Amino acid sequence: MPLHTTLFPSPPTKTDWESKSSQEKYNTMGSWFLGPRGENAGILKDKFSSIIDHIVLGRTQNFADPSFITSEMKSSQEFQDSVALLQTNLDVLADRLAENHVPFYSPRYAGHMNGDLSMSAVLGYVLAQQYNQNNVAPEGGPTTSFIEYFVGQQLCEMLGYNILKPGDGASGEKQIYAWGHIAADGSIANLESIWYDLISLHRIARNLKYYPLSLHKAMDPGAPLESLADTFIVNLCDGTQKNFYSCDTWELLNLSPTEVADIPERLFAQYDISSDYLSKVLEPFSIQTVGKAKLDEDFGIKDPVQYFISAANHYSWPKGCAITGIGRDNLINVDVTYEAKIDTEKLEALLNKRLEEKKAVYCVVAIVGTTEHGAVDNVKEILRIRDDMAKKGMSFMVHVDSAWGGYFATKRVMGFRDTPLPSYAFSIPLNDWTNMQMLFLHSVDSITIDPHKSGFVPYPAGGLCLRDGRHRFLTTWTSPYINAEAGTDIAVGIYGVEGSKPGASAVAVLFSHENIGLLDGGYADLLGTAMLTGVKMYGLWSTVSLNSPDLLATPFRLLPVERDYYPEPAPPEEINKQLQEIWNQVVILSNDEIERDTTLVKKLTPDTIINAFACNFRLRDSSVNTDVVEANFLNKRIYSRLSIATLKDELSDRPVLILQTEFKQDVYKDALTLFKRRMGLPESAENLIALSNVSMFVLPYLFVRRCGV
């Protein structure tokens, strides 16, 4: 079923989102959440009741069976006692959670990548959960399996990939279609992206590095595909053609991802070799059967193939490399810039060194929204490097880890131009840098995205999208059919590392997409309001010293005036002038007032909505503390005061909740040295304890005015 065939009818009264006024949009957004104080509890109760009615209908309409739980059973003392125990224990558990929990829904929570859940997602999850569908295979949940396929296509389209549309294929022109699915979380999705690059699995599964080696072995004298050795031609990554069996190890390891995915289809078209036969004859030569060490020995591969990623990477990357056998030592951390973005000049130098030494590369990972700082890597430049390296004979995949930043693609402005100034406060656009990188997502090979982060969906709901959907066969343990019609394969569960998986997660994502509007402006403006919260929080932390001269809070992201002067330090008087502007033009103003002049707001807009900062203090003589250890102690104490970590912590005693992180000097290097200097700390080898807040609250006007923050 094509993506544009929807499960839901269009409401007859639906109006164009963009035609709504800012207040009308706020009014609509108010219906999307339960609310920080349960303001929409009546709506949720009513919908829960409706769900129960539908579940009962689902259990009674298909089979004419008698009731198994009889009225006599329900009137018995044993039954009544059991129900009473259920209520008692439910009250105890509910009271305990109400008393001690992390209030992700509150405007006062600004710690992890979590916020209030959309009511649509909650209702979708609760509804589907009662049917307990298992998306490991369609027979475990045909409807929810289709919904997961559908959601994967929605995410692919949002990110810019080519998806199946009505009428596609009518011209006979070959197209590459994207594919995506829901995973437990971003860590699993990142692991799968590594697996696609590495593991050659049972039967037809592909290996973008080692599959060509296995195929080459199958063409050796006396091997099943010996007859192909003289005639099968492939396209090398530099654009030239060559007999496949004549390729050396370096050329085999550097066939492009698309070329590798094309090989089985070409073998079928040219030699009538079916997928079943091909998987059977390749099995004795596969990495699964003989092991990576044997193939390395046979082809003289002495140096391990490597991954390259920003030093600011998420912990799931070294974990994934360890699990897949690549080894964490072969995940190469590339130095970052002062903005915690991958240094593409150093990346290119490292890749050129690998090229000179004829050492292969699996993949370069770009991060769109780093965990601690929300920074967006230079996707455009990484793709330029990939293309240039291919011309020199080196091919590798480019993966984007946008577990956090992926949904911000709903806000990208098409066309290579500056993003416009917002016409109203919560329509804050992406900054020009982030917008540019979003425009290049369509050219990367795979993307991690987490609906349970910036999609406002309950856990567990990560996701992985592939530009070339054929690459999903790399992780299946079932033989795919080469000539399958695109859009008919809803067996999403077999294409990943998970086994049983809840169909409810996919339903939650779909229902939230449909009711908020994934590509119709709803999510774009919803994230825009969160971005406004982020800008206000940035302003609040930056200007702390204006009202508390002894406390100095320095944001990791440079002030606009500091960026203007970089790499030289901005004059103190210029910094103080800008801090006063931020206080007067952003912090103390309402949304309506900000709408009159959004120029400064746009300058302050971060790559995403994470603000990292660290505090220092003045001594009694008004000089700034220069001891990193003392600054670290202060930040630890602030975090201890503004966090919930134990059962003894009182939630009502925390005015706001934030996150603590640690910047390691040997990881952040010059970027951390600059950060320390801006804090008034000297250059040193000590790590820095810092603080961070993720601003996902979507009603920033209420946040500032009613909470008094």
Closest CA to 122 of 459, 520, 463, 526: 459
Whether 229 shows a pLDDT value over 90: the answer reads yes
Tell me the H-state helices in 363-447: 379-391, 432-438
Structural domains of the chain, ranges and CATH numbers in brackets: 144-162+176-198+304-517 (3.40.640.10), 211-298 (no CATH)
CA torsion through residues 383, 385, 386, 390, sign: positive
Q: Are 207 and 287 in contact (CB under 8 A)?
A: yes
- Check pLDDT > 60 for residue 4: no
What pLDDT is stored for residue 393 in this prediction?
96
Q: Which of 426-435, 519-528, 560-569 has the lowest mean pLDDT?
A: 426-435
pLDDT tens digits, residue range 252-278?
999 998 999 899 889 999 999 998 899
Q: Cis bond leading into 460, ω under 30°?
A: yes
pLDDT of residue 702: 46
Q: What local confidence, expressed as pLDDT, does residue 111 receive? A: 84
Question: How far is residue 560 from each of residues 408, 429, 600, measured CA to CA in Å?
Answer: 22, 17, 9
pLDDT of residue 2: 40
pLDDT of 124 reads: 96
| pLDDT at 700 > cutoff 70 | no
CA 623 to chain centre: 43
pLDDT over threshold 60, residue 202: no
Please provide the size of the chain in residues: 709
Comparing 34 with 173, which gets the higher pLDDT? 34
Lowest mean pLDDT among 158-167, 220-229, 235-244: 158-167
Q: With a cut of 90, say whether residue 388 has pLDDT above it.
A: yes
Q: How confident is the model at residue 709 (pLDDT cuts 50, 70, 90)?
A: very low
Lowest mean pLDDT among 253-262, 624-633, 665-674: 253-262
Residues 454-463: tens digit of each pLDDT: 999 999 898 9
Q: How many CA atoms lie within 13 A of 589 on its CB side?
A: 21
Q: What is the mean pLDDT of the chain?
A: 86
How far apart CA 462 and CA 441 sit, in angstroms, is 18
* C-alpha distances out from residue 449 to 212, 328, 403, 421, 441, Å: 29, 23, 4, 27, 12
Reply yes or no on whether the pLDDT at 479 is more than 70: no
Locate 88 and state its tokens: 């008692």
Measured between alpha carbons, how far is 386 from 381 in angstroms, rounded to an integer? 9
- Rounded (5°) CA angle 633-634-636: 65
Burial 190-211 (b: 16+ CB within 10 A, else e): bbbbbbbbbbbbebbbbbbbbb
CB atoms within 10 A of CB 88: 10
Cis omega before residue 567 (within 30°)? yes
Query: Within a 10 A sphere around the Cβ of 588, how many other Cβ atoms?
Result: 13
pLDDT at 566 over 60: yes
| Between residues 650 and 30, the one the model is more confident about | 30
* pLDDT of 594 higher than 80: no
What distance in Å separates the CA atoms of residue 369 and residue 310, rounded to the nearest whole number? 12
Query: What type of residue is 494?
Result: I
User: What is the mean predicted confidence (pLDDT) over 406-428?
Assistant: 67
DSSP notation for 187-231: HHHHHHHHHHHH---STT---TTTHHHHHHHTTSTTSTTGGGTTT
* Lowest-confidence region among 410-424, 537-551, 579-593, 638-652: 410-424
Closest C-alpha among 257, 355, 374 to residue 310? 374
Give me the pLDDT at residue 500, please: 75
At residue 369, does pLDDT exceed 90?
A: yes
**Residue for token digits 């006979």?**
172
User: For 19-28, 238-247, 525-534, 688-697, which range has the lowest pLDDT when averaged over its residues?
Assistant: 19-28
- Using one digit for the tens of pLDDT, what is the confidence trace for 90-125? 999 999 999 888 888 888 888 888 889 999 999 999
DSSP secondary structure of 42-83: HHHHHHHHHHHHHHHHHHHSS--PPPSS-HHHHHSHHHHHHH
Confidence of residue 488 (pLDDT cuts 50, 70, 90): low
The number of beta carbons lying within 10 Å of the beta carbon of residue 6 is 12
Tokens 């984007």, located at residue: 400
Q: Is the model's pLDDT at 288 over the cut of 60?
A: yes
Residue 507 has pLDDT above 90, yes or no: yes
> What pLDDT was estimated at residue 499?
65
Quick one: tokens of 54?
Answer: 């539908």
Question: What confidence score (pLDDT) does residue 225 get?
Answer: 97
* Structure token digits, residue 265: 């289809």
Question: Does the pLDDT value for residue 401 go beyond 80?
Answer: yes
Please state the pTM of the whole predicted model. Answer: 0.90
> What pLDDT is recorded for position 426?
63
User: What is the rounded average pLDDT of the residues 25-33?
Assistant: 90
Calculate mean pLDDT across residues 128-132: 90
Residue with tokens 């939650």: 508
pLDDT of residue 205: 30
Joined together, the tokens standing for residue 510 give: 């779909």
Residue 484 identity (one-letter amino acid): A
Instruction: Return d(Cα 305, Cα 288) in angstroms, integer.
Output: 17
The answer, yes or no, to whether residue 481 has pLDDT greater than 50, is: no
Q: Over 70: is that where the pLDDT of 359 sits?
A: yes
| 3-state secondary structure (DSSP) of residue 579 | helix
Residue among 327, 238, 224, 330 at smallest CA distance from 278? 224
Eight-class DSSP state of 326: S
Mean pLDDT score, 319-340: 86
pLDDT per residue as tens digits for the range 571-592: 999 999 999 999 999 898 877 7
pLDDT at 142: 87
Asked if pLDDT for residue 492 goes beyond 80, the answer is no
The phi, psi pair for 398, rounded to 5°, reads -120, 120
Listed residue (357, 42, 362) closest to 210, CA to CA: 362
Q: Which of 17-21, 87-91, 545-549, 636-640 has the lowest mean pLDDT?
A: 17-21
Q: Which residues contact 214 (CB under 8 A, 6 or more apart)?
A: 200, 207, 282, 285, 286, 287, 295
pLDDT of residue 707 exceeding 60, the answer is no
Amino acid at 479: S
Taking residues 496-519, what's their average pLDDT?
Answer: 87
Beta-carbon count within 10 A of 247 CB: 17
Pair 471, 206: CB distance under 8 Å: yes
Confidence bin at 15 (pLDDT 50/70/90): low
Amino acid 485: pLDDT: 47
Those residues whose C-beta lies under 8 Å from the C-beta of residue 48, and which sit 6 or more positions away, are: 123, 126
Question: In Å, how far are 184, 390, 515 from 352, measured between CA atoms?
Answer: 36, 11, 48
- pLDDT more than 90, % of the chain: 56
Alpha-carbon gap, residue 345 to 336, rounded angstroms: 10
CB 461 within 8 A of CB 450: yes
Alpha-carbon distance values, 206 to 198, 258, 323 (Å): 9, 11, 19
Q: Rounded CA gap, 211 and 708, in Å?
A: 60
